Structure formats: structure tokens, C-alpha cells
Amino acid sequence: MQVDDTLLNRLEKLSHLKIADEKRAEVIGQLSEILNFVDNLNELNTDGVDDKFSMSDAATFMREDKPACDTKINDDIIKHAPQSADHFFIVPKIIE
């Protein structure tokens, strides 16, 4: 699998990342090398193998359906957020 600039652009968009111009060739090379390696999975026959994997075959445990909320956690997160006021996060203007 060869990664090109068009694919890297798409991945940057999906990732909300910007790779600097001077790094692009290197990153494209590294991603291509890694994907070429992991293509070795095609050597394995997986016909008929379950396509979902779960860490446990047991059902999720049951618990009482009681509401629980430690609002102190919310307060602390807001307090340490980069910008906040009146119990809200502040973000740049969205609508002009």
C-alpha cells in the first residue's frame, strides 16, 4: 500500500492534524512502509472467522440502575479548562 499526498491530505482531515510541509515526504514514506508490512496479514486465510472480536465471551455484568453523578468532577474540569466562564467552556466564535 503506497500512501500519496492525496491520501495524506485525507488522513490529516480525518485526524484534525496538519503535517508540516518539510515533514510530509518523511511521513508518507513511514506510513507506506508500515502499511506494506501489515499487508502480511493477507497471507493468512481468515475465511469463516468471526469478524468481531470481544475481550470477553461473558455477558456484561449487571448493576442496579441507580443514577450517580459526582458534580464536583465537572466543576474541577471546568475550573482547569483552557478557557471557561459561568460553568461553560469558551470557544472561538462559530457563527459570523
Q: How many CB atoms lie within 10 A of CB 3?
A: 19
Residue where the block lists cell 455484568: 61
Is residue 42 within 8 Å of residue 1, measured between CB atoms? no
Taking residue 13's Cβ as centre, other Cβ atoms within 10 Å add up to: 10
Q: From CA 8, how far away is CA 77, in angstroms rounded? A: 34
**One residue of 14, 67, 85, 86 binding another protein per CB under 8 A:** 14
To the nearest whole angstrom, how small is the minimum distance from the Cβ of residue 75 to another protein?
Answer: 8
How many amino acids of this chain bind another protein (CB under 8 A)? 52
The reply to whether 24 sits near another protein by the rule CB under 8 A is no
Interface pick for another protein out of 6, 21, 22, 41 (rule CB under 8 A): 41
State yes or no: residue 34 binds another protein (CB under 8 A): yes
Residues that bind another protein (CB under 8 A): 3, 7-8, 10-12, 14-19, 27, 30-31, 33-35, 37-44, 46, 49-53, 55-56, 58, 60-61, 63, 70, 72-73, 76-77, 80-83, 89, 91-94
